[in-house]
């Protein structure tokens, strides 16, 4: 790669999932000798989650390619302003504008099937008697809405191990939009029932993101890991080529 240092790929999971959602993608990258880090995102607030990921990025020596799935796309949009981030990759993700929230971006488009499949549960915030609200996908509908092209037995496991998202995160505006100063790439999951694919398309087009479309459920990195890995390799090559030019 033209003598440039090999970037570390940081994979940022989204809502209703965790780091295991990258289980089929990670070996594809590691087979090429690409260093991979997969943090456990708290999914408590957009700014808090982005600050957590940014702190991890700052601790990595050398360049970083940030990859965000779903809500993780919003997280990398904010965390991606860190100095050593050289590229962003969105996987069925939210490419927010600065000052825009998830709810605002989604609100301009028809609801996906997810809207009627969400369940809410209160959780203690640790701040006196205050409680927050966690949002989950109804496990009975998880396969159809979130992972239709994933083996049903695996989907049942994912349904009961999902990591919720605090409802407050949907209304929190993004304080930065890293795609304005970083090259960015994106996958539209064309058969997505969790995020309306037009939300993905609009955000990517607005940000000038180089885009590919895959006929996939929302869990595109589990159902189409080779194609996703190829896009990440493209992001790495574009970054290292620019740096060595």
* Domain boundaries along the sequence of the chain: 8-107+168-244
Of 57, 59, 62, 94, which Cα lies nearest the Cα of 179? 94
**190 close to 197: Cβ distance less than 8 angstroms:** yes
pLDDT at residue number 245: 44
pLDDT (tens digit per residue) in 43-66: 999 999 999 999 999 999 999 999
User: How do residues 151-172 score in pLDDT, each as one tens digit?
Assistant: 999 999 999 999 999 999 999 9
Residue with tokens 């809410």: 120
Distance in angstroms (rounded) separating the CA atoms of residues 184 and 125: 35
- Where does residue 245 rank: exposed (0-12), middle (13-18), buried (19+ CB within 10 A)? exposed
> Phi/psi class of residue 3: alpha, beta or left (left: φ > 0; alpha: ψ in -120 to 50)?
left
Half-sphere exposure for 174 (CA within 13 Å, toward CB): 27
CB within 8 Å of 241: residues ≥ 6 apart: 2
Residue for token pair 């940030």: 66
pLDDT in tens, 218-236: 999 999 999 999 999 999 9
pTM of the model: 0.95
Q: Which residues of the chain have pLDDT under 50?
A: 1-2, 244-245
Q: Do the strands 85-91 and 118-124 form a parallel or antiparallel pair, or are they unpaired?
A: unpaired
> What is the second-level CATH architecture of the domain 8-107+168-244?
3-Layer(aba) Sandwich (3.40)
Q: How far is Cα 69 from Cα 187, in angstroms, rounded to an integer?
A: 9
Query: Which pLDDT does position 241 carry in this prediction?
Result: 60
Q: pLDDT value at position 170? A: 95
The helix or strand, by DSSP H or E, that contains position 137, with its residue range, turns out to be: strand 131-137
Question: Given CA atoms 47, 48, 53, 54 in this order, what sign does their dihedral have?
Answer: positive
């Amino acid at each position: 790669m033209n003598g440039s240092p090999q970037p570390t790929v940081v994979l940022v999971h989204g809502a209703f999932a965790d780091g295991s959602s990258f289980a089929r993608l990670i070996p594809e990258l590691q087979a090429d000798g690409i260093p991979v880090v997969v943090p456990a995102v708290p999914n408590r607030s957009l700014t808090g989650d982005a600050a957590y990921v940014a702190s991890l990025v700052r601790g990595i020596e050398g360049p970083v390619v940030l990859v965000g799935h779903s809500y993780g796309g919003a997280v990398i949009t904010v965390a991606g302003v860190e100095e050593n981030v050289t590229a962003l990759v969105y996987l069925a993700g939210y490419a927010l504008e600065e000052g825009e929230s998830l709810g605002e971006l989604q609100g301009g488009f028809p609801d996906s099937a997810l809207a009627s499949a969400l369940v809410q549960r209160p959780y203690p915030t640790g701040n006196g008697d205050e409680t927050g609200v966690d949002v989950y996908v109804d496990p009975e509908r998880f396969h159809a809405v979130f992972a239709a092209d994933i083996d049903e037995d695996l989907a049942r496991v994912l349904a009961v191990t999902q990591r919720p998202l605090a409802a407050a995160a949907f209304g929190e505006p993004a304080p930065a939009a890293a795609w304005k100063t970083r090259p960015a790439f994106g996958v539209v999951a064309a058969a997505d029932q969790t995020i309306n694919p037009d939300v993905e398309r609009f955000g990517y087009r607005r940000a000038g993101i180089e885009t590919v479309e895959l006929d996939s459920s929302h869990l595109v990195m589990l159902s189409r890991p080779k194609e996703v890995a190829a896009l990440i390799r493209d992001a790495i090559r574009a970054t290292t080529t620019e740096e060595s030019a």
